[in-house]
Amino acid sequence: MDKAAVKRISKSIFKTIFDWLDSFTHIKPSKELLEQPFIPNINPVLIEDIQTLFATALLMGMDHATRKINTADTEIPPLPFEEAVSFMKGRVPMTKTEWNELEPKLRFRAFTVARLAQCDFIETVRGRLINAMEKGEGFTSTWNDIKAVTEADSAFQFRPGYWENVFRTNTQTAYTAGKLMQYRNNPPPAWNLLIVDDSRTSDICRGLIHSGKQSLAMLSNHPFWEKFGFPPYHFQCRTGLQAVYSSQIGTDIQVENPTMKSIGRHFKPMEGFGGNPLEKESWWMMTENMAKRAAQYNIFNDVEKFAKDNGLFNFSMNLVKGTDLVQLKGTNYAAIKAGKADPKPHEVMAAKVLEDNNHTVYFTPENKVFKNYDAIIDGRLGEFKNLESFNKIKVRLNEADTQRASIVCMTLPTENHTLKEAVSIIEDWFKTSQHPIKYVDTVHLIWNGRIKTIKK
């Protein structure tokens, strides 16, 4: 990755520490004062710099997928940091609409990474100062030591491995997401994992090396991808991902079919890693660890506001409380939900119909202050509407669009009306709505336990 860019970003983050330390220059702080929460201001330029880094990694992944370029080590080739996005956009076929959908998500990821990095560093320095005071060491000498270290050219190495963790992990995730975006509608017949085998290889990825090979190719429908997903599999992961084409199978690359039992004996990703970054939205959403740290540092509301200001409302993968299942009584169906989510029975029943028809549903918590979406449906933001009257169809659709849902799942009564009538009303809403339709483009109509899909 671009070392100069990382150094520039790190110095901007360290300025926050200088500002915090300088606030104590003319006073002798007590332990209690040091323990007071400090929420740093954030420089918009810092967000732009980090956004550029992540955007370039994402676009480079898309570009490499298009041109069939694969890297054995995800030390992504040096990124042209200045004007990188403009450069890469010229190489990747992307409409303005597609880019407008990606940009706020990249901006949000950059914001959360920058803000949490600031708080992590503040917490490190705070802990060091408190420890010094508890041992009777002078505040002034300790403060000068810390300031000298952070002002040095090697400031970005103040916490060994920190930047490696933050930026390698985020750029690697964005790079993998970019590749998968290109293959979303036309996946390759197989994927190949490229494992770097040297002194830095983790025990996790070393578990993928077998028979002296530094790669492992498996068909796209192998259960490995469903269970373990794609790299990164841990912090600082360097395992690469290569698409395998039909012409390569049996000639350039030997596709294997290991059992899940044999793989599981030697390989297990670090918690929170792996999976599909597109399905989980983990390339831009807050991870569980991020959400917990934001809550710990008392900046969760700040993060939430930034997300909503950028049109992102389900911005956390689990909103701190993890993932649970809610059982639909009388059936063997269990809906997947965020820990704080409390879906209504009719929503769970509708989710069962959707999932019986190969759709995916993840229920999200209700925000009492600002009504957000009910669930993530097929990776997009969705609302469930249960109607007792046909007269309310357009009202509820307008309501869903106000809530910025892309997908609406609507359950309607079948008495005294026909499916054709219901479809006609929805189609008419798409064509002649009195209010411009900004978000809703898909309606799943549940009728007698079956689904009829109407698109804009």
Taking alpha carbons only, the member of 25, 371, 373, 393 closest to residue 361 is 373
End-to-end CA distance of the chain: 41
Amino acid 74: pLDDT:
46
Spatial neighbors of 232 by CB under 8 A, at least 6 apart, are 74, 168, 169, 172, 173, 176, 239, 273, 274
pLDDT along the chain (456 residues), means of 10: 67 73 65 65 84 88 78 51 69 83 92 88 77 73 70 54 76 90 87 87 87 86 93 88 88 90 90 85 83 74 83 68 71 78 87 90 65 73 87 90 86 86 92 82 91 92
Q: Return d(Cα 166, Cα 117) in angstroms, integer.
A: 8
Model pTM above 0.85 = no
Amino acid 369: pLDDT:
44
Q: Return d(Cα 271, Cα 288) in angstroms, integer.
A: 10
Taking alpha carbons only, the member of 369, 362, 357 closest to residue 451 is 357
Hey, what's the torsion of the CAs at 298, 304, 306, 310, to 10 degrees?
A: 170
DSSP symbols for 392-423: GHHHHHHHHHHTT-SEEEEE---TT--HHHHH
Q: Which secondary structure element, helix H or strand E, spans residue 46, and what is its range?
A: helix 44-66
Output the CA–CA distances (angstroms, integers) from residue 439 to 251, 400, 442, in the order listed: 47, 9, 9
Taking alpha carbons only, the member of 169, 190, 363, 188 closest to residue 269 is 169
Q: Return d(Cα 442, Cα 427) in angstroms, integer.
A: 11
Domain ranges of the chain: 1-186+285-318, 187-275, 323-455
Alpha helices in 198-344 (DSSP H): 203-206, 223-227, 260-264, 277-280, 288-296, 300-309
| 8 A C-beta contact, residue 308 and residue 107 | no
Amino acid 424: pLDDT:
93
Over residues 397-451, the pLDDT tens digits come to 998 888 778 899 999 888 878 999 999 999 999 988 777 888 888 999 999 889 9
248: left (phi over 0), alpha (psi -120 to 50) or beta: alpha
| 8 A C-beta contact, residue 277 and residue 368 | no
Helix, strand, or coil (residue 210): strand
User: Domain 323-455 adopts which CATH fold?
Assistant: Trna Endonuclease; Chain: A, domain 1 (3.40.1350)
Decide: residue 252, CB within 10 A, 0-12 exposed, 13-18 middle, 19+ buried: exposed
Q: Return d(Cα 248, Cα 167) in angstroms, integer.
A: 33
Over residues 45-56, the pLDDT tens digits come to 889 888 988 988
Amino acid 24: pLDDT:
65
In DSSP terms, 239 is beta-bridged to: 73
How many C-beta atoms surround the C-beta of residue 3 within 10 A?
Answer: 12
Helix, strand, or coil (residue 148): helix
| 8 A C-beta contact, residue 360 and residue 377 | yes
